[in-house]
Amino acid sequence: MNDAVAAPAFDSLTVGDVVAEAAYHLTRDALVRYAGASGDFNPIHYRDDVAASVGLPGVLAHGMLTMGIAVQPVVDWAGDGARVTDYQVRFTRPVVVDAASGAEVGVTAKVGQLDAEARTVRIDLTVTFNEATVLGKAQVRVALA
Amino acid sequence: MNPEIQGRVYPPVEPYLVGREKIREFARAVFAIDPINHDPDAARRAGHSDVVAPPTFPVVVQERTLAQLLADDDAGIDFSRVVHGEQRFSFTRPVVAGDELTAQLTVTGVKTLGGNAMVTAATEITDAAGGHVVTATSTLVVRGDDA
């Protein structure tokens, strides 16, 4: 018996619809947790002195952490992360995570394209930090059939 | 960087056995709250054999193949100058706990742009039965001397 969370109805969607919005508070703890979970221990993601020595404005969130978080509102909307069939991003700006105050990352997910034959939807993400986008061409393809 | 690495195929890395606790750990790290990422019963009710990995989890397996590329002296990629430019995951099916995954990297693109070089590497990730699970593709930007 399959009682998966129902997928959003394809026919109810229109290009331009905002299907999800979310805000995430990233802290240094979150960066350390991601380093451990992913195995990416590049010290620019947790050491101010190393980040400064290579000319960065501060300790940065892993790009893959930002990518990983940014898809979650779409996963929650889709009802099952397994419906995500393709996900791509360009890393365009860094997310600087302050030791004390962290960083706020905003995600807006909009319908970018509908494929009626394949019953798939392309969701376009706008991911912001400090009022600037940090990911380009951030697109998630979700199968709703 | 050596432009002749275009088309180079590296040997598959050691199979990676996906653990349930690893998926839970990764899910917590990317703020994934979907019960199918954490609870085997919820995953089975949704039609999966065990907990389901979040969409970006395959990077954990892909990373081992990127390490091969970066360690290849003949490729000549200076890791200290590498910036992650783009990332993509194209799924045939999601990764679930219990999967034994094999990963193999092919260099699919090399180009220079201004003083920088860009290398695109596609890692094909397959299961124990040889079926395609996901292709993880990274574009790495190797900054030039002046950048």
Nearest CA in chain B to A137: B86
Which run of H or E residues covers position B68? helix B59-71
- pLDDT the model gives residue A4: 63
C-beta of residue A107 within 8 angstroms of C-beta of residue A68: no
Q: What is the pLDDT of residue B50?
A: 98
- C-beta of residue B10 within 8 angstroms of C-beta of residue B65: yes
On chain B, the residues whose CB falls within 8 A of the CB of A65 are 29-30
Q: Do A89 and B60 touch (CB under 8 A)?
A: no
What distance in Å separates residue A63's CA from the closest CA in chain B?
A: 8
| pLDDT at A97 (0 to 100) | 98
- Is the ipTM value over 0.90, yes or no? yes
Compare CB distances from B54 to A1, A39, A81 and report the shortest one's residue.
A81
Flag if B29 and A37 touch (Cβ within 8 Å): yes
Q: From CA A44, how far away is CA A104, in angstroms rounded?
A: 19
Output A105 or A8, whichever has higher pLDDT.
A105
Q: How many CB pairs under 8 A join A and B?
A: 112
End-to-end CA distance of chain A: 18
Q: Is the pLDDT of residue A1 over 70?
A: no
CA distance B137 to B125: 11
Beta bridge partners of A133: A128
A76: closest chain B residue by CA: B34
- pLDDT at site B79: 84
Domain locations along chain A = 14-27+60-143
- Written as one letter, the residue type at A68 is G
Confidence (pLDDT) at B146: 56
Task: Kindly report the nearest CA distance between residue A7 and chain B, in angstroms.
Answer: 11
What's the first-to-final CA gap in chain B, in angstroms?
Answer: 15
Residues 6+ apart with CB under 8 A from B114: B144, B147
* Structure confidence by residue, pLDDT tens digits, A89-110: 999 999 999 999 999 999 999 9
Nearest alpha-carbon partner for A136 in A65, A70, A86: A70
> In this predicted structure, what is the pLDDT of residue B114?
85
A9 phi, psi to nearest 5 deg: -75, 125
Select from A2, A30, A67 the Cβ nearest to the Cβ of B87: A67
For each of the domains in chain B, give its residue range(s) and CATH number, in order of start: 3-18+55-142 (3.10.129.10)
- Within 10 angstroms of residue A15's Cβ, the number of other Cβ atoms is 12
pLDDT of B147 reads 45
Class level of CATH domain A14-27+60-143: alpha beta
* pLDDT score of A20 more than 90: yes
* Chain A (108-137) residues lying within 8 Å, Cβ to Cβ, of chain B: 137
* Whole-number pLDDT of residue A3: 52
Distance of alpha carbon B89 from alpha carbon A86, whole angstroms: 6
The token pair that represents B109 in the structure block: 């693109």
pLDDT band at A121 (very low <50, low <70, confident <90, very high): very high
Phi, psi of A47 (to 5 degrees): -120, 115
Averaged confidence pLDDT in chain A: 95
Numbered residues of chain B with Cβ closer than 8 Å to any chain A Cβ: 22, 25-26, 28-34, 36-37, 45-48, 52, 54-56, 59-60, 63, 83-91, 93-94
Q: What residues in chain B have per-residue pLDDT under 70?
A: 145-147
Please give the C-alpha separations between residue A24 and each of A16, A31, A117, in angstroms, as whole numbers. Answer: 23, 13, 35
From B61, which residue of chain A is nearest by alpha-carbon distance? Answer: A38
Angle at B123 between CA B117 and CA B127, to 5 degrees: 175
Determine what percent of chain A is predicted with pLDDT higher than 90: 90
Radius of gyration of chain A (CA): 17
Is the separation of the CB atoms in B142 and B77 below 8 Å?
yes
Q: Which amino acid is at A110?
A: K
Q: How far is residue B102 CA from its own chain's centroid?
A: 11
Mutation to test the A interface, candidates B45, B56, B57, B123, most A Cβ within 10 Å: B56
- A2 in reach of chain B (CB within 8 A): yes
CB spacing of A91 vs B85 below 8 angstroms: yes
- A141 pLDDT above the threshold of 90: yes
**What are the tens digits of pLDDT across the range B114-142?**
889 999 999 999 999 999 999 999 999 99
CB contact under 8 A, A38 and B90: no
Give the residue-averaged pLDDT of A7-21.
94
Q: Residue A25's pLDDT band (boundaries 50, 70, 90)?
A: very high
